Every structure is written in C-alpha cells, then in structure tokens.
Amino acid sequence: MHALAQLAEFVSNHPAGALPARTREAISLLLLDLFGATAAGLHSPLAAAARQAASDIYGKGDVQVWLTGQRLSIAGAAMANSAAASALDIDDGHRGAAGHAGAGVIPAALAVGQAAGASDADILDAIALGYEVALRVASSRPTPTIETYASGRWVGYGAAAAAGRLLGLDGRKMAHALAIAGGESPVVFPTGTSKFQGSTVKEGIPPAVVAGITAAFRARAGATGPIDLLNNEERYDRAILLDRPDEVWELEKCYLKPYACCRYMHAAIDAILSMRQHGRDISELRIETFPQALRLANERAPNSLEGGQYSFYFSCALAALRGSDALQPVDPDSLRDAEILELANRIELATSPDFAASFPVRTPARVLMNQGEGLQELVVDYPLGDVANPMNWDQVANKFTNIGRVSLSKDSQQGIIAAVGGLGANGFAPVLAALDISETAG
C-alpha cells in the first residue's frame, strides 16, 4: 500500500472525538498562541496585502477574517488568516519538521469548519490530524537545508488533511487530496535567490493553505493526484510517516516562540537577556551557534521586518539594547535605530564545533558578552518555548497581551484569552465570537 494512502486511511478512519485530554489542552495552547501571533501581524504589510488580495481574488463569503470584521470565502479567509498569523515569525514550530505547522493547519481547519457548521469535536480532530500529517511529512525528510526547509513545501498536506476530515472524505479521496496538495504546493524558493527571507514570500505558508484546502474540495469532486508521492524512501522515512508509538500526537511536540524572529536565534537571545545589564555599554558581543544558522540572510542593517526576523545581528542587538519587549513584536522604527544598527555592525557570529551536529533536534548558542567587567559566557541548549523548556498557559497569555497590544484593546485581549481557556467546556462558538471584532488599539 502506498505510504500516502496509509496516511490517508489513518486520517479518515481515526475515531471521532477520541483525542486524549492532554492533546485537547495542547490544542487550546496552540490556538491562543496563534491568535496572539495573528494580532501582532495583523497590520503588517504582508498581512494587509494578503487580505486585499484574498478579497479581490476569492471574494466575499461567510468565513471570518480574524480580528477584522470581514467575511470572505473559505480559501480567502484561510489565506488571510494564515498570512497574519505567520507575518512576524512568532508562530509555533516543530524541531523535527524544521518549520511551522500551526499557521497553515489552524486557519484551514477553522475556515472549513466554520463554513461546514462542524461540531467542536470535529474541528479539534481536524486540527490534530492536520498537524499530524504536516509534521510527519516534514519530519520524515532528510535533514532539510536552508533552501528546502520552507514550511510552504509541506504544510499544504496538513491543510488538506484538516479540510478533508471536515468534508468527510473516505480513505481513497483523502489520499488523492493529500497527493494533490503535495503535488501542487508551492516550491517557494527558486534557485538563484539568496535573500529570500527578506521578502514577504517568507516561507510560503498562505499559498500552501489555499493549495491544501483546494485539494480537499477537488478530491471530493473526483480529482486525482499522484498517490505514490511519498513512496521514495530516500526522501521520506516510512517509519516516521506511518508509525504511531505511544499515541503521542506531534502537535504536543511543537515549540512556542516568545520572540518575533527566526527560532534559530532564540537561544542566543535568551542568553543575552539573561546576562544583560540595563544601561551598561556593550563593548564586545560574540555569538557561537550551529552551522545552518549562518546560512540565514543575516543582514546587519535589514530594510524590512522580514529581513530583521532572519538576522542574528539585528535581532540580538535589539534584545541586548532594548530587552525582550522589543521583540514582542518588533517595532518597524527599530530598523532605523542608529544605536541598534551600530551594535549589530559589531557583533561577531561564528559556528562552534560543539554544536556541529545539533540541528534540527537542538538550536543552541553560546554568547560571550563584555559589559565593562570582562567577558561573560553563557550557553543555552533549549531556548524558552522548547519542548524541553516549555511555556505554560500564563506565559502564553502574557505573550498574547504583549504582542497583541498593537491591534487589540485590553478588553478584547482578555475576551479572547478567556474564550480559548474555556474551549473545553464551551466549545468554539465563544472563540469565534471573541475573534469577530474590528479595532485597533490606541
């Protein structure tokens, strides 16, 4: 049996409403985290352009564009929500996958679920299964390089799985939905580009969401795809794709991000924040990390938020001089802050043989910083939010409050936090009601 067909049978036949309590709790945490990321990214150029394009191309409908009061078609709303959620690179991720599933799977599941009038249990199942498929496909690949890790290459599988589950696709049609999504998801980065992280293309998650949802609807209508797509065992480890040891859902292995920048640099930022003495001059700052980190764009003076998100120099200088709040989220004015740019220009960035084999399981860093009392050194193996150093509900709620302040009033923030916190008892209706607002915080 084709690997993809076996994966599809699992998605279609998984017992309804049978998620463990811990998995449902993990979904609530991921939802709150993603809604915070959406609030932070709502007014970014990336998200604003996506909303306009979604309206122009996909048209009006009955599905929410979160936090705007707009209603668009299924594909349009899912794309717009995905763009806002992934705009500032503060959405959840997964070490094995080396990328981000939530900004693709959750918008797809809620858009299709809302349009279909799906039950709370069905939407939860769709989210869990969507994460599972996306993360298994991504994790089963050989260790991705900086050119191939983009989440848009694989998150469409998860969007198709979530949508297909909500549409009630049987195993055969689900297999074709996954095959269409995998065959037509964006390539993302053509050869020849070296600065792709600095544009609003980023990881290509929003178009992958559209591809995945469309694939599910097309498969329901009878379209077919290349169901042998995952059979090449040199490209996809069949055991990772198909085994389910101990029934541990992959979404429970996701990390959360306290800072609006690439996860590669979070260990360095944690170390800097731990050693930082406010108001002290920094005469020397050296960062040693794993080799893949040096293949980011790493512009010392980025011209866009996207460029800053993929720059050790800028993000670490920002943390050193302005503290953690400056990364929750990043103010575009920081890109022109002369003091930050001056420090960014002096930071040393190098690989360490100690971390040569760490990626993608770990993204560690060693920081050496001189604040007038000689070099201090600190190594961080597992940054805040990692599975080995997790953020709890209160920390995620605090993150939401910090990063959501640019778009939402305190009352709206508290309403969303309370609604998501009550998901288990009250379902999705209060959550959708809390997201159905249009405002900008003062």
pLDDT in tens, 144-158: 655 567 898 999 999
Q: Residue 84: pLDDT band by 50, 70, 90 thresholds?
A: very high
User: Any idea of the CA torsion for 393, 398, 403, 409, to the nearest 10 degrees?
Assistant: 110
pTM for the full model? 0.91
- Given the candidates 3.40.50.2300, 3.20.20.70, 3.40.50.970, 1.10.4100.10, the CATH classification of the domain at 3-253 is 1.10.4100.10
d(CA 176, CA 163): 13
Reading the block at residue 426, the tokens are: 């009250």
Looking at domain 263-380, its CATH superfamily turns out to be 2-methylcitrate dehydratase PrpD (3.30.1330.120)
3-state SS of 385-434 is CECCECCCHHHHHHHHHHHHHHCCCHHHHHHHHHHHHCHHHHCCHHHHHH
Q: How many residues does the chain have?
A: 442
Q: Where are the domains of the chain?
A: 3-253, 263-380
CA 432 to chain CA centroid, nearest Å: 20
pLDDT in tens, 150-190: 898 999 999 999 999 999 999 999 999 999 999 998 877 65
Residue 332 pLDDT > 80 = yes
**Phi, psi at 441, each rounded to 5°:** -65, 150
DSSP code, position 142: S
The H or E element containing residue 70 is: strand 70-72
263-380 shares the fold of 3-253: no
Reading the block at residue 275, the tokens are: 């050693």
**Phi, psi at 164, each rounded to 5°:** -65, -40
Q: What's the pLDDT at 73? A: 98
Q: What's the pLDDT at 173? A: 98
* CA nearest neighbour of 36 among 429, 395, 427, 304: 395
* Contact in structure between 192 and 302 (CB atoms under 8 Å): no
Q: What's the pLDDT at 155? A: 96
Q: What's the pLDDT at 442? A: 43
DSSP code, position 406: G
Reading the block at residue 69, the tokens are: 């009061």
pLDDT in tens, 203-231: 899 999 999 999 999 999 999 999 999 99
**Phi, psi at 159, each rounded to 5°:** -65, -40
Reading the block at residue 18, the tokens are: 């049978």
Q: Could you tell me where the DSSP H helices lie in 260-378? A: 266-275, 305-309, 312-322, 338-346
d(CA 415, CA 212): 31
Higher-pLDDT residue of 194, 306: 306
Reading the block at residue 329, the tokens are: 């989220």
